[in-house]
Amino acid sequence: MKIRACCVLLALTAAVPAQCLFTSVATQSIGPGCNTGSTGFCKLVGLPTTLSVALDAANCTLDLQVNLFESCGVQVPVRVIAVGFASTALPLPEFGPGCMLHVAPIGFLTSSTGPFTLDLPPGVPSLSFLVQGAALSVAPLGGQGNDVLTFSDGVQVDLQ
């Protein structure tokens, strides 16, 4: 009877999800973004591409959003996030002056909208990694503007 009770207890323990231990998230820039500007279609001054990070401790997820000014018919059909654990300083002159990849990526995530939702490991007390976002701005059909790939700052994410 004791063996059966131990097996039932073990099965119930395995079925209970581990608790999410993260209660806060902090971010720090590890390098500047680039290609602040517009597609040339809008008369408005371009705003920088930013990366926002939000922790959902109840669901043990982290939302990463690549934010880019969208107006005057300009569309953002592609958003990309590079994720890694080491920084780099890889020049990307083909995308514009001063453009640099600040994250040595182990993976890329792509989306047409966002946010990117990452499932966090339960039962882990702390975690750090690096991310950098990019977004493609496309002028409206028939517009006389340029398509522009912009990059956010490289960001270190620390979860506690």
**pLDDT values of the chain reduced to their tens digit, one per residue, 160 residues:** 445 544 443 443 444 456 899 999 999 999 999 986 555 555 544 678 899 999 999 999 999 999 887 667 778 889 999 999 999 999 999 988 889 999 999 999 999 887 999 999 999 999 999 999 999 888 776 566 678 888 999 999 999 9
Return the pLDDT at 40: 55
Give the type of residue at 72: C
List, in order, residues 6 or more apart from 65 with CB less than 8 Å away: 51, 52, 54, 114, 115, 116
Quote the pTM value.
0.82
Do the domain assignments include residue 131? Answer: yes
Return the pLDDT at 153: 96
Return the pLDDT at 146: 72
Number of domains in the chain: 1
How far apart CA 96 and CA 111 sit, in angstroms, is: 22
Do the domain assignments include residue 10? Answer: no
Q: In what order do the strands lie in the sheet with 100-111?
A: 25-31, 148-159, 127-138, 75-91, 100-111
Do the domain assignments include residue 81? Answer: yes
Which residue spans within the chain are E strands per DSSP? 25-31, 50-56, 61-67, 75-91, 100-111, 116-119, 127-138, 148-159
Do the domain assignments include residue 58? Answer: yes
Q: In what order do the strands lie in the sheet with 61-67?
A: 50-56, 61-67, 116-119
Return the pLDDT at 124: 93
Which domain CATH number covers 25? 2.60.40
Do the domain assignments include residue 153? Answer: yes
Return the pLDDT at 141: 67
Full domain range(s) for residue 70 = 19-159
Do the domain assignments include residue 99? Answer: yes
How is residue 4 annotated by DSSP?
A: H
Do the domain assignments include residue 63? Answer: yes
Do the domain assignments include residue 5? Answer: no
